[in-house]
Amino acid sequence: MTDEKNNSDLEQESSGEQEELENGQAEITDEEPDIETLLQELEETRERMLRVAADADNFKKRMERDKEKHLKYAGENILRELLGTVDNLDRALEQGSVEGGDPQQKLEALLAGVDLTRKGLASMLERFNVKPIEVVGKPFNPEEMDALTMEANDEVPANHVVQEFAKGFTFKDRVLRHAQVVVSSGPAE
């Protein structure tokens, strides 16, 4: 009897679980989104991702083109200003080659034109942050200067610049060209 009672209880539990399972499945199928809807959402998401990836790729290409263009024409402003310097040199040469007149006046006009052109060029360089390095009488600095030779000098201390052959220049915080100098070796012995 105990076995029959146990079997009966088991059957009732099984049938109850079976009903719950069927009800649960029914609930799941009622709550499940339609496969078609899921596939459509998946396709829409995929298309959005492809558009975003294409937009990112186009942005990257545009930035690379802009960078190349900027680098290609980076010196345009400086060159435009240099053309004015060339024009000034041409005018100075024209003044010096005019026929007739006093040769001394022609020479003076030529020199004045060249001097004005040099001043204009120096001013332009300064606008672009190119500045001369002042070296005469200063201690020798190998980061800004190239020593071409050394000479004994009673007036200038040893390892100081006596003479400058070519002016050095900086661009912003960087040496553009070293000054070429003569360095004192101290008094002659």
Query: How far apart (Å, rounded) are the C-alpha atoms in residues 64 and 104?
Result: 58
Query: How far apart (Å, rounded) are the C-alpha atoms in residues 65 and 73?
Result: 12
The pTM (predicted TM-score) of the whole model is 0.59
Domains in the chain: boundaries: 2-70, 75-128, 131-189
Query: How far apart (Å, rounded) are the C-alpha atoms in residues 44 and 51?
Result: 11
For residues 135 and 152, the answer to whether their CB atoms sit within 8 Å is no
Residue 189: the pLDDT is 75
**Residue 121 in tokens:** 């060029």
Handedness of CA 82, 83, 88, 89 (dihedral sign): positive
Q: Where are the alpha helices (DSSP H) in the chain?
A: 2-31, 35-72, 76-96, 103-127
pLDDT at 19 over 50: yes
Residue 1: the pLDDT is 53
Residue 12: the pLDDT is 58
* pLDDT digits 0-9 by tens, 114-144: 898 999 999 999 999 999 999 999 999 999 9
- 131-189 under CATH 1.10.730.10, yes or no: no
pLDDT at 26 over 50: no
What are the backbone angles phi and psi of residue 98, rounded to the nearest 5°? -65, 135
Closest alpha carbon to 179 in 165, 189, 162: 165
